[in-house]
Structure 1
């Protein structure tokens, strides 16, 4: 690189990778979304858009036919000339690099919109215009290929054009819509589609080819540093531009150490804006600093914080220069960090580290990202580096986050016992306990997590050590984000509940009309019988857990379990909630999982045994052929089963998964079953509890049938409940909604129950056993969460 007659060598690549060109990627995403909006509006809501356009046209359409033709002629000529004007502008400015992208974008746009079901169709333009002067121009305006080509070449050329011509050209192209409303009443949908597609193609080409903003203005950097008395003789790329700035080491005449030069481009500005927006959406306002309106303000803030910390004698670097360069670039120059990092010193420096942090906080400054490499020691004095997240006028929350971050950093270097003891000695037990509430992932910035490979282990070790050295049984975590994990899960469950409840809601009017003729005493009996299922499930789980938790709490948990199981496919939410409740009750994770798995295994065995018993008891009065699959279905199921077994046997990964993951758990469950057989009392409680679940559901359905006049026996209803429920369990819908109702109604009809009784009876049964418990389970689960029981 030659600057002012001097040759300055540059070592390393300055080219930014495609995946880090944030501004160009954002442009492509927005263009793709706009294409989706245009397609959706054209295919789904086009009639409404046509009516709206006609209404607007009636308001703005004040031109007579002659004036409309004149406007159409003038605009047509302008839009026809536009691509040639862009080409001439590029040639005049000698933007030779962009000509290939210009041509490629134009040809790709025309080619893509020329593809039809029968191949590639060429434009059908009629050059003879015997009637109207604007006929030929209207063919261009209405042809989506021409509009797409103009939009593509303008999108590609925009970064290379001067600001004013670029704005006027885009204004001319976008004026296509209002011109059509004035002249032709309705904007052609195909032309709007061409405009959107052309912009998307141009955005993609810009991402691949690049923009002038990618050209690093190193010559301007040399001149800026020279004005401040630093004569640069060479550059070495330390870190290419990516999520952070382009970092170079600048060799300076008459200086032993090189200067560190940070260059921020438009991509850093767009990524920083997205990062700030994400933090504003996800973190509480007290945890986030004021959003900067531009990259200039953000970089300026960082430099000013470095100067402020330097005034306290705690900065490891000296600020040299800050300047705005052409095409949106900014440069920050400073000396290289002084001193040794934490990993290079002994634990004797820890008292000085905590004293330096207190001095920083007394100056109303929080650091915000205390990585091990950013805490340095020079001649026994602790200094800091890296002020990208530093804030002046720090709040208590920000100061506590600093302490928590430093605890994790020192733990990763010196060990948990030494680090926590030094912190308690230096700043006091109360300060450490206050900061320990922020020992969570949300309070740890990304830079710290990246620099400490085992940061999760260091985080949990620090929390445990603080609890041990302060004698605390538990340390509550502060909620740093706007929404906690439990709140997000509950929101997802509520959305799932609305989804699964929709089919039921649509049948509510008819169902309420049928309820007028129902016998409410039978309905109350069904509700009472269904309540026995919660007691039975709680008793079975209590026995599986060896009575380690209270039976009363398990009964309450079963009510919340109904909500979690209904709003998640296959009831996995209910299983997870049961395990979580046992864990909070003091049972280890492995033991809690084994208890829940044991209950499910006994439940399956009990269900099958009851099915066999009631099928034999039914005898000839119940025709079970309705539930027996056809021979073809059995052969197909057997074939699928053999295929699955063969796949697991032949694929090494699946075979190892069976051996390493499934087999130990299966052996554990079988061992639990063997131990259960040797304990008759515990075995009886679990079996009776599991049987109460099945029989209680059958009793509730039988009472619902009787509420609408009856017509079948308890044995028949039990068989329908067990077989129908088993078939519907394979349904992917949460809570089996739709599948359960269809299976039960079909089963009752198969045994001769009229549809005018079976349908309302099944709906009443689902209200008693599903929907009432679900709506009661939501507040119950929130109450358990508030009591820290789940």
Structure 2
């Protein structure tokens, strides 16, 4: 955070409020009522992973699980029924009574918020267990369903999940049973009794028991993270008490009114004047779990992605974070660095700690005017970093608010460093070089690369400064610095557009990091220039692997379902027509390439454009409603040299023309179908209902301002550039003809593929019927927000075929499954290979 100008008060201003600060009453609470804790999120994610792993193991070893279930059923048959009934009744009663008693205990201990959290978690867990007990045959692969189905099930309470133990575990976990060992033992006893009676009675098996425990535990932690865990909230009076225990005499506290809530809370604490010399005021920082959780997901992602990412204290308790803060402060002071002097530390209960510093009389770099940034001051800043690095201490966040200038020194000011909480002791060379890159960028934003590099060269020398060139990359900079660099470059580009004089120095328009690199290499010609790889994993590699995993999982789900297995459909189809359908499916990618190239006025590489369309087939599997393919097309055009605005406009033109042609084909084939066949599509009540629903939705969006603004904000970037792009295209009628022909062929190839699938199963519907079903059914199915439209396309398209052709639904579904296998699943692997190849050649 920005360091406040804190000065010790004199006797004359002992009763005055310091400027820019507000007084804090002794009853004011220091912490928010709730905080999202990273460890809770980690447990929630761990529970999800364990659940998925359990299902995968059960699927792989379903024969073994089935044998265990058979043995348990045989043992249950030998047990006395009366004894089992009594044990089951007692267990069910105990599972309900123990959480109720725990709730009363928490209420008596003023734990109302924890009881509320427990009730929310229990309600969610109970609803999930009931839903899974009812619908697990439709949601899970058949191999797991056969293992989970209890032989004695008669109601949702008798399903595979223990419908009473699941909410009991969720309630007590969310209500804080981890801090009450006696109640934890009681919960374990009653749950174990319920599990034992369910196993012996044959109402559950080992798999369902494990899933029940995981569901309750995971739901509890998911709820706790969503609503936030209750904090033990100390007030200012407790803060004063802790300060007195470590030898201070606090009398009043002040804070900034605009203090960011995500930063550690800081207070200026005035002390009593009980001696001849006034006591110095105190700079008190309160560390709590809430601040450690801020940005946890971003830091975790950076830690996984970057080799030089800081290991922040996200999973540390406040006392552990305080020890890390104190260690860095003492190490920096021992290195001779001017920084805040740590005076004392103390605990403020289980959820907070405090650190007491001497106030800093000065301002940070971002609070200084440009005229105050003199060359001697720049030298002193670099000297402070050099002292830090001499002891192998890395700062890791050398931003403008981390450099402090003491105005009580000479006329140029004395420099110092603050905000060391993210630093490292015994840091590696890459981290130290990253510090240099950060400070070079921070100073260049204020004084320009020439002065920043000159000061660094005077202090560090050519050998050390030259090592910073390979790490001068955006990834090495903190987020705030990257934002300032982008803002400055955008402002410079805007100024250049307004003043495009020929004699203007074009080097000033180069990116800031490039200008810093050029300045260093000009002063140090032998400096290494090859960039160091800072990433462990690139985002696009993660996207490719994750996309293939999602596509594989969706395929496994379809293959393991009795009603939607496309490979079962293959065994009943005629190979000749399957080959024809496969060729037509491949032809659709060629047609898509014609459309894509035809609506871009610039010349494109045809082979790479074809690969982009094939890769789009893979991307659409892992993104809903074809949005992935549109994003990939935009990215491809941008890599081919088109500005982003023109790339978006070109994709928008393709989509707009495609929509018009799609509607035109619907009218043409709708007329043909209604005039020839016994099941007129134009008389369908479902079509009327669908059109009315679409109209009602459009009216709703138009009538509700927030919805209208949301839709307009999403459509404006694409629509705004369509008209100028269309005018450019009209100057090349040949390309327009290719684009229109390609767009028509995309729809016709798709319809012809579905028609060939129908012929493969011995059906002979009219082509117009199949085409209208494909045009409308496929479009409506893609509206389902699932990857690749899985589930929605199959259901809607089969229903559309049944409506237009009159064939039975199960027969239509077989044709649709074969069609989907040829157009969605089989192109996934070549699409993935094409996507990786385009990445390799830097084309996407």
Please state which band the TM-score falls in when normalised by the shorter chain: 0.5 to 0.7
2:589 corresponds to: 534
Q: Is the 8 A contact 1:10 1:234 kept in 2?
A: no
Higher alpha-carbon deviation: 555-564 or 252-261: 252-261
Distance of 1:402 and 1:697 partners within structure 2: 56
Could you report, residue by residue, the CA deviation over 1:199-252 in whole angstroms, capped at 9, with x for unpaired residues? 99xx9999779578997253342242x3xxxx5353414379975655443445
User: Residues 99 and 775 (structure 1 numbering): CA distance in 2 closer, same or farther, change over 3 Å?
Assistant: closer
Cα RMSD after superposing both structures: 6.1
Distance of 1:355 and 1:746 partners within structure 2: 75
Q: Is the 8 A contact 1:314 1:382 kept in 2?
A: no
- CA shift for structure 1 position 561: 0.8
User: Residues 753 and 690 (structure 1 numbering): CA distance in 2 closer, same or farther, change over 3 Å?
Assistant: same
Residue 730 of structure 1, aligned match among 780, 797, 806: 780
Matches within 5 A, 1:161-172: none
Q: Is the 8 A contact 1:578 1:596 kept in 2?
A: yes
Could you report, residue by residue, the CA deviation over 1:400-459 in whole angstroms, capped at 9, with x for unpaired residues? 43234334543554567866786688766854432322x23x8526xx57xx98576369
- Give the match's secondary structure for 1:337: coil
1:41 corresponds to: none
- Give the match's secondary structure for 2:329: helix
User: Residues 168 and 215 (structure 1 numbering): CA distance in 2 closer, same or farther, change over 3 Å?
Assistant: farther
- CA shift for structure 1 position 681: 1.6
1:680 corresponds to: 733
Distance of 2:617 and 2:362 partners within structure 1: 60
User: Residues 264 and 607 (structure 1 numbering): CA distance in 2 closer, same or farther, change over 3 Å?
Assistant: closer
Q: Is the 8 A contact 1:529 1:696 kept in 2?
A: yes
Residue 750 of structure 2, aligned match among 677, 697, 713: 697
1:457 corresponds to: 487
2:526 corresponds to: none
1:260 corresponds to: 283
Structure 1 unaligned segments of length 5 or more: list them: 1-7, 38-47, 91-97, 114-143, 160-165
1:590 corresponds to: 645
User: Residues 721 and 207 (structure 1 numbering): CA distance in 2 closer, same or farther, change over 3 Å?
Assistant: closer
Higher alpha-carbon Rg: 1
Higher relative contact order, structure no. (Cα contacts within 8 Å, ≥ 6 residues apart): 2
Is the aligned partner of 1:344 residue 2:368? yes
- Give the match's secondary structure for 2:604: coil
Aligned length: 681
TM-score, with length taken from structure 2: 0.63
Could you report, residue by residue, the CA deviation over 1:627-682 in whole angstroms, capped at 9, with x for unpaired residues? 52437556545644554554455555566678787578547435544554453322
Is the aligned partner of 1:395 residue 2:428? yes
TM-score, with length taken from structure 1: 0.67
Distance of 1:397 and 1:263 partners within structure 2: 32
Q: Is the 8 A contact 1:14 1:216 kept in 2?
A: no
Q: Is the 8 A contact 1:339 1:376 kept in 2?
A: yes
Residue 575 of structure 2, aligned match among 515, 518, 531: 518
Distance of 2:38 and 2:588 partners within structure 1: 59
Distance of 2:337 and 2:617 partners within structure 1: 57
Distance of 1:627 and 1:176 partners within structure 2: 63
Is the aligned partner of 1:626 residue 2:679? yes
Q: Is the 8 A contact 2:489 2:512 kept in 1?
A: no
Matches within 5 A, 1:321-340: 321-322=344-345, 330-340=353-363
Residue 244 of structure 2, aligned match among 198, 219, 222: 222
Residue 110 of structure 2, aligned match among 91, 94, 101: 101
- CA shift for structure 1 position 351: 4.1
- Give the match's secondary structure for 2:110: helix
Distance of 1:540 and 1:737 partners within structure 2: 25
Structure 2 unaligned segments of length 5 or more: list them: 1-14, 16-22, 52-65, 123-163, 205-212, 493-509, 520-528
- CA shift for structure 1 position 315: 2.3
Q: Is the 8 A contact 2:28 2:235 kept in 1?
A: no
Higher alpha-carbon deviation: 606-615 or 542-551: 606-615
Distance of 2:391 and 2:321 partners within structure 1: 21
Could you report, residue by residue, the CA deviation over 1:355-411 in whole angstroms, capped at 9, with x for unpaired residues? 432332232110122232321234444321122111111123322432343345435
Q: Is the 8 A contact 1:694 1:722 kept in 2?
A: no
Matches within 5 A, 1:537-576: 537-576=592-631
Distance of 1:760 and 1:108 partners within structure 2: 47
Distance of 2:616 and 2:117 partners within structure 1: 57
Matches within 5 A, 1:302-701: 302-322=325-345, 330-342=353-365, 343-344=367-368, 346-348=372-374, 349-378=377-406, 379=409, 380-410=413-443, 413-414=446-447, 430-437=466-473, 439-440=474-475, 444=478, 448=480, 457=487, 464-468=511-515, 470=517, 478=533, 480=535, 484=539, 487-488=542-543, 491=546, 494-495=549-550, 498-499=553-554, 502-503=557-558, 506=561, 507-515=565-573, 517-519=574-576, 523-609=578-664, 623-624=676-677, 626=679, 628-630=681-683, 632-633=685-686, 636=689, 639-640=692-693, 643-644=696-697, 646-647=699-700, 650-652=703-705, 662=715, 666=719, 668-670=721-723, 672-673=725-726, 676-701=729-754
Distance of 1:457 and 1:350 partners within structure 2: 23
Distance of 1:415 and 1:260 partners within structure 2: 34
